């Protein structure tokens, strides 16, 4: 029997590129990069995404991968990709082993045409992994809520994410500074300095919104799962726990939901 082959996954987000490596259905590792210039993407593709090419471009790979055979460029590596920023995939269009996943390939009913593919993949991955119904709270550049039940979309919402809210206050005002929050500790609610007041205002109002969506979800779907993902997902989960919110008791944190959804789409397409 032929052994399972390696394949590369790419989920293009608003701010970063999310990469993952599988062998068959088995997850090996994931990593993130900024959006790369077209020439770097094309250089990687020309080298079949070999380890040496990543190193030559100054892009770090997870140390857990070691020097596995897939990295040596000896065999063309299939790339399964989905993007909320389509121009990134256009830069890889000449790669002969590229498989683009769009909404039409996501096995969920009720998807609307402008739904972000990252949201669709994440809620698919959540339901397939943790069970239906599932609510995914993606704490990335945008804070999104995406819910599905029995393989069909329930709906969702979109708001500015934690970092974007703070950046907006700094960018579009004359006096408010740049603020970096502590992801492991809630700020004092009643602040005595402007940076602390910004952190307090953004974080506590964001948490209030998250709690409200979770409470409404649990009202209509008492047995439903709630999964937190995204770059600020760990911080949001930590903040909720520090507030001793009973809603946080059964939160699941999983940063790879979109990859689990992409894996399922690949599995369906190869049946």
Digit-coded pLDDT (tens) for 226-259: 999 999 999 999 999 999 988 887 899 999 999 9
The reported pLDDT for the residue numbered 30 is 94
d(CA 228, CA 221) in angstroms, rounded, equals 17
pLDDT digits (tens, 9 = 90+) for 27-69: 999 999 999 999 999 999 999 898 888 989 999 888 877 655 5
Using the predicted structure, report yes or no on whether residue 207 has a pLDDT greater than 60.
Answer: yes
The reported pLDDT for the residue numbered 98 is 96
pLDDT digits (tens, 9 = 90+) for 91-105: 999 999 999 999 999
Between residues 19 and 74, which one has the greater pLDDT? Answer: 19
Query: What are the structural domains of the chain?
Result: 6-100 (3.30.420.40), 105-259 (3.30.420.40)
- Which tokens sit at 88? 């990134």
Confidence of residue 182 (pLDDT cuts 50, 70, 90): very high
H or E segment to which residue 151 belongs: none
Mean pLDDT of 201-221: 97
pLDDT digits (tens, 9 = 90+) for 97-156: 999 999 999 999 999 999 999 999 999 999 999 999 999 999 999 999 999 998 899 999
* Dihedral over alpha carbons 12, 17, 18, 21 (to 10 degrees): 100
131, 122 Cβ separation under 8 angstroms: no
The reported pLDDT for the residue numbered 250 is 86
Indicate the length of the chain as a whole number.
271
Burial 73-86 (b: 16+ CB within 10 A, else e): beeebbbbbbbeee
The reported pLDDT for the residue numbered 70 is 54
Residue 145 CB neighbours (<10 A): 23
The reported pLDDT for the residue numbered 73 is 47
Catalytic residues: 118
Read off the pTM: 0.94
Confidence of residue 75 (pLDDT cuts 50, 70, 90): low
């Amino acid at each position: 029997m032929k052994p399972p082959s390696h394949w590369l996954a790419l989920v293009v987000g608003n701010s970063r590129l999310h990469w993952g490596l599988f062998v068959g259905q088995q997850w090996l590792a994931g990593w993130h990069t900024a959006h790369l210039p077209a020439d770097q993407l094309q250089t990687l593709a020309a080298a079949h995404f070999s380890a040496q090419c990543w190193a030559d471009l100054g892009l770090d790979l997870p140390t857990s991968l070691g020097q596995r055979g897939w990295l040596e460029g000896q065999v063309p590596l299939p790339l399964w990709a989905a993007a909320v920023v389509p121009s990134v995939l256009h830069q890889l269009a000449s790669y002969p082993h590229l498989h683009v996943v769009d909404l039409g390939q996501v096995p969920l009913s009720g998807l609307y045409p402008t739904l972000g593919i990252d949201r669709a993949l994440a809620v698919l991955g959540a339901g397939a992994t943790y069970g239906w119904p599932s609510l995914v709270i993606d704490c990335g550049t945008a804070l999104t809520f995406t819910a599905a039940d029995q393989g069909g979309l329930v709906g969702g919402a979109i708001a500015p994410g934690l970092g974007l809210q703070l950046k907006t206050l700094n960018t579009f005002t004359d006096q408010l500074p740049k603020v970096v929050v502590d992801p492991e500790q809630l700020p004092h609610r009643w602040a005595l300095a402007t940076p602390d007041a910004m952190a307090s205002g953004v974080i506590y109002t964001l948490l209030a919104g998250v709690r409200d969506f979770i409470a409404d979800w649990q009202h209509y779907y008492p047995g439903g799962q709630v999964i937190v993902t995204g770059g600020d997902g760990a911080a949001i989960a930590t903040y909720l726990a520090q507030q001793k919110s009973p809603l946080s008791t059964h939160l699941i944190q999983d940063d790879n939901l979109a990859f689990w959804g992409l894996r399922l789409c690949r599995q369906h397409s190869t049946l």
